[in-house]
Amino acid sequence: MRILVIEDNRDILANVLDYLQLKGYTVDCASDGLSGLHLAATEPYDLIVLDIMLPGIDGYQVCRRLREDAGRETPIIMLTARDALNDRLQGLNAGADDYLIKPFALSELVARIEAVLRRSQGSRKRVLQVAELSLDLDTLQVVRAGRTLKLNPIGLKLLEILMRRSPAVVRRDALEEALWGENLPDSDSLRSHIHQLRQILDKPFEKPLLHTIHSVGYRLSETPDAV
């Protein structure tokens, strides 16, 4: 599970980071609202731990812009020293899933994280989305701009990897290892499968999503120069 912690207090951030990593979570962090918003809107996190009092823009704005502008449904636990009812309601109304008052025990934070993750995994569809392209991980249905696309098993696996990593570049050797492990085919099978995927994914549409990064790998993104 991958978690983003947005907190400007260095001591709290370091303690939360160390504890979550000890519990087996992969953790990224940001210390201001704008950096946290950028990460949360562009990276695939399973949950966000979000402080309210942040430099730049506060946690309420981060949460609201993630929900309304970026369309992200990533579960959010808000952290704050404010314990008034109106403050808690404001956080929940902005789109938070839970609310934890400072100071808090790290064990309680983990318990809250696990509870929110259980609820979110039970209630939300597992769908990957890049621009107008979606992949339902439960039904394996691929849809772009309202049109259902038919992919073979390798094409589906390639697409899932590229969508999970979007907009990052995925190296050729990483794709080959994910598809075939140590039993790599003799011919340039990856190039062939990428070609087939591109024919289905991009050829019927005006704007390409699958981009070749020469001598490196491939990227799935609305723009070829996305970072």
Note the pLDDT tens digit of each residue in 141-194: 999 999 999 999 999 999 999 998 888 899 998 898 888 877 778 768 999 999
Closest CA to 202 of 224, 185, 172, 177: 224
Note the pLDDT tens digit of each residue in 197-225: 999 999 999 999 999 999 899 999 988 76
Pair 95, 202 in one domain: no
pTM of the shown model: 0.56
CATH number of the domain where residue 174 is located? 1.10.10.10
Determine phi and psi for 51, rounding to 5 degrees. -75, 150
Pair 43, 105 in one domain: yes
For residue 21, what are the domain limits?
2-123
Q: Which among 123, 151, 167 is the end of a domain?
A: 123
Pair 69, 171 in one domain: no
Q: Which among 123, 145, 160 is the end of a domain?
A: 123
Pair 88, 160 in one domain: no
